[in-house]
Each structure stands twice: as C-alpha cells, then as structure tokens.
Structure 1
Amino acid sequence: MVIDDQPGVRRLICEALKQAGYNLCVATEGREALEKIASEAPDLVILDIKMPGMSGVEFLKELRRRSFVTPVIIITAYNELDLVEQAGKYDARYFLQKPFDIQQLYRLVRGVLQPGYCQVQAVGQV
C-alpha cells in the first residue's frame, strides 16, 4: 500500500513497483488508508510522514492500536529527526528520504518483504 498526498510521488512509486511485479493499492491520506487496510491486508505500507489531516505518525499510531503489524517504510522530504523518532516508537524501522532513487526503493521493498529482514534501515539522509 502506498500512502502519499502528492499524486506525482504516488504515481512514481506505483509505476516503478508494478514494473517489478508488485500489486499495489493506494491512498491519498491516512484516514482513507485505514479504511482500506483491513480489506486489502497489504504486506507492506509505504507511508509519507507529512500529510494534511492525519499525519504519518498519527496513522502509524492508529495502525498499531488496531494491532496491525504490517511493516512500514517511511518516506519524507523533510530532514526532521523528531518525526522519524516518533515514527520509530510505532515500529517504523525503514526510512527513505525524498528525492530517492528508484533502485533504492526496489532494494528496500525487496529486503523488507524477505522473511527475517528486521534490521533498522535508513536510506538517504534521515
């Protein structure tokens, strides 16, 4: 699942990962994603940390409150360590800073979806 309020970023991620053979669902903000996540049951969430309405941190908090243990990759255009630290409190272990290289995204997604891949990953300058 890709959750980002910017259409261009959503489209880029979706096109790149679909070419790699992944099935995707998308949401433009956190509340929409929470509605979809129960029925879609994604293996992975790619989440923008800064969104209007429900922030990425608020989404993560609610996701974990609902007992979803889905791995989350945080993407952010902001070098705000406090938000990254807050996200980490809700078991967000993987971070990717915008603008990111598509190859970085491929490697991170492939790694996260491998059984046993649980180390904290920071890609780019977080």
Structure 2
Amino acid sequence: MFEKKDYLLIVDDNASVRRLLFEIISDEGYKVETAGSGTETIRMVTSSMPSLILLDVKMPGMSGLETLEKLRVHAPGVPVIMMTAYSEMDACQEAKNRGLVREYLKKPFEIDKLRFLIKNIMPEKIA
C-alpha cells in the first residue's frame, strides 16, 4: 500500500493555469504539487498519494478522462474535482453520476467556488 501524503495535486497541461491555481491554493494554507500530464499524474500518485486531485479534462496525450480511469485503479479513494470547458460538461456529469469524481468546475470558474469545494472536501489545512 502506498503512503498517503497530505497534499493537493493540480493537473493541467497549461503551465499558466497550474501556476495560478498553485498560488491561490497554497495561499489558503494547503500544500500543493502540480503535474502537467496524465502520465506524470499516474507516476506521482503511485509514489505518494494526494488527499485531493484537481484534474483538467482536455489535455494532449492522455486526456483527463483517461487519466481519471487510471486514477481509479491506482488511487481509488482519492477525491477528484474535474476542471472543464463547456464542451466536456456531459462527460463530467456522467463521471460524477458514476461516482468517479466528487465535483466538476466549468472553466472559467469562480475562485470562491473552488475554495469552497476544496474546504469541504479537504477541510484541514496542511502546510
């Protein structure tokens, strides 16, 4: 069994989005790590399990939905919040209905809504 680490993992292929979310979330007092691809995400969770994953749907190579399928094998109990543009909303709703994700956010999303979701899923701050 892998050791569970108290950190939040941001997965997005856009470095600017990763950097912005990193700053916002770490300013709230959470320990944050980032990954730029699905492959990198799977590699990270097989060595240290995050407490929460923010996962972009549309990424080159392994998409967010493909990454989600692999995460459910490697990290079945880790809650996931999907981040998506309007065109992927149906897939995100289906993933939520099937219990694969806790929640999803439509980009661009309100930062306060993101903070609310994180606080409700991961209530203890981990610095």
Distance 1:67 1:42, change over 3 A: closer
CA–CA distance in 2 between the matches of 1:99 and 1:78?
Answer: 9
Q: Structure 2: any 5+ residue segments left out of the alignment?
A: 1-8
Higher relative CO (CA 8 A, sep ≥ 6), structure 1 or 2? 2
1:20 counterpart residue number: 28
User: Is the aligned partner of 1:59 residue 2:67?
Assistant: yes
Identity across aligned pairs (percent)? 39
RMSD: 1.7
- Given candidates 64, 78, 83, the residue that maps to 2:86 is 78
Query: Is 2:84–2:106's contact at 8 Å kept on the other side of the alignment?
Result: yes
Q: SS in structure 2 opposite 1:25?
A: strand
In the TM superposition, residue 12 of structure 1 has moved relative to its aligned partner by: 1.0
Q: Structure 1: any 5+ residue segments left out of the alignment?
A: 116-126
2:103 counterpart residue number: 94
Across the two proteins, how many residue pairs are aligned to each other? 115
1:118 counterpart residue number: none
